[in-house]
Amino acid sequence: MYERVRANPKFQQLVTRRRHFAWTLAIIVLLLFYGFVMVVAFSPAALGQPIAADSKITWGIAVVLFMFIFFWLLAAGYVYRANAEFDALTQEVLREAWQEQK
């Protein structure tokens, strides 16, 4: 059973696609988050600037709020694609493996 799954090119396709997608998203999150932490550590004044001359809202607030929303949207994007594409591929791989067994 495991052998047949492994031999199925669709399994390789599933693994490769999911790996690329998941790691791309993870790296975006890590880069943005630790990039932000570096700005906080090395250039805090930049975050204190208002987003518009007469606004009380600073870049710092805007950036953090953006990250809360954007990270969640990335998560939603992952779940959306995984539920549709990856799960369908997984089902196909498993079904084909069962059929060969019969």
Which residue type does 50 have? P
- The answer to whether 36 touches 46, Cβ cutoff 8 Å, is no
For position 71 contacting other proteins by CB under 8 A, the verdict is yes
Pairwise CA distance, residues 93 & 6, whole Å: 9
For position 33 contacting other proteins by CB under 8 A, the verdict is yes
For position 84 contacting other proteins by CB under 8 A, the verdict is no
Dihedral pair phi/psi, residue 57, rounded to 5°:
-80, 130
Size of the site for other proteins (CB under 8 A): 51
Which tokens sit at 38? 């570096």
Pairwise CA distance, residues 28 & 31, whole Å: 5
State the residues that interact with other proteins by CB under 8 A. Answer: 1-2, 5-6, 11, 14-15, 18, 22-23, 25-26, 29-30, 33-34, 36-38, 40-42, 44-45, 47-48, 55-58, 60-61, 64-65, 67-69, 71-72, 74-76, 78-79, 82-83, 87, 90, 93-94, 97
